[in-house]
Each structure stands twice: as C-alpha cells, then as structure tokens.
C-alpha cells in the first residue's frame, strides 16, 4: 500500500472513536520500513484520554526505528491530559516519517506537532486531499 492508502486506513480508524466534545477523533497506523503494518490505534480506544498515535505506539512496543506513522490529524504538540504529547512520543520512539491528512485546528490547543517533529528531523508529508475524511468524524466539533 502507498502513503495515500495507509492514510485512508488511518482516517477510517478515526470513525471508530467514541465521540467527544473535548477531543478530536483520530486514527493512526504505524508501518515499518519493510512496508508491513506494525500497529494501529484510535483515540479513546482503551481509555478516555488515549490519543491514536499513543495507542498505536503502546501496541508496537515503542521502538519504531525507520517506521512511518500515518495519522488522520497532525500529531499533537501540546497536551492537557497527559505529560507528553504525541509528537514527542513519536520522536522518542524513532519513527522517521509522519504522514497526516489534516493540520490540527486550535480548537483545544495550538497545533504545534508538525514543528516539533520537523525540528527533530522527522520527515513530514501532508496529504490534504484526505483532510475531508479526517474531518468527517469530527463534524460535531466543527459545526457552528
């Protein structure tokens, strides 16, 4: 599968999230350098405070050297519910690339994940053609 296919899967995973008025619904897939899926996750999967990337990293064992993280939303750079934002978790795990569909709107916190990842040398790829699919499970937050 190519970047668009993996990212479309991440966007589909976001639809599995229990809706929240205080957090985005996000899906994430981690793919190894060999092109095989390592793990996947979605927001609020096992805990009301889980972020998608965090859930997927936890399932992966946390060592992602050379991996690509596909996330429907730009990984968070600020976080109210946990001490480390997803961008820092991704850097610490050693992923080399992050592919995302939608830049985080500053509805809850400022979207600074891309800057944190870029500063750490992680390659960023934004596929805005999938942004509508990433926004769809979040329509209740964006209305009005």
Catalytic residues: 53
Rounded Cα distance, 78 and 16, in Å: 23
The answer to whether residues 37 and 53 touch, using CB atoms and an 8 Å cutoff, is: no
Structure tokens at 97: 């690339």
> How many beta carbons lie within 10 A of that of residue 40, not counting itself?
23
Q: Which residues contact residue 120 at a Cβ distance below 8 angstroms, ignoring those fewer than 6 apart?
A: 91
Structure tokens at 124: 């960023």
């Amino acid at each position: 599968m190519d970047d668009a296919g993996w990212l479309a899967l991440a966007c589909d995973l976001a639809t599995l999230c229990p809706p929240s008025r205080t957090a985005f619904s996000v899906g994430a897939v981690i793919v190894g350098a060999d092109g095989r899926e390592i793990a996947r996750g979605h927001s609020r999967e096992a805990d009301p405070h889980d972020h998608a990337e965090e859930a997927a990293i936890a399932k992966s064992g946390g060592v992602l050297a050379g991996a690509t993280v596909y996330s429907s939303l730009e990984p968070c750079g600020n976080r109210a519910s946990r001490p480390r934002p997803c961008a820092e978790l991704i850097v610490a795990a050693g992923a080399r690339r992050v592919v995302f569909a939608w830049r985080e709107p500053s509805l809850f916190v400022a979207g600074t994940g891309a800057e944190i990842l870029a500063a750490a040398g992680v390659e960023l790829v934004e596929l805005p053609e999938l942004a509508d699919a990433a926004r769809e499970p979040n329509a209740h937050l964006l209305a009005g």
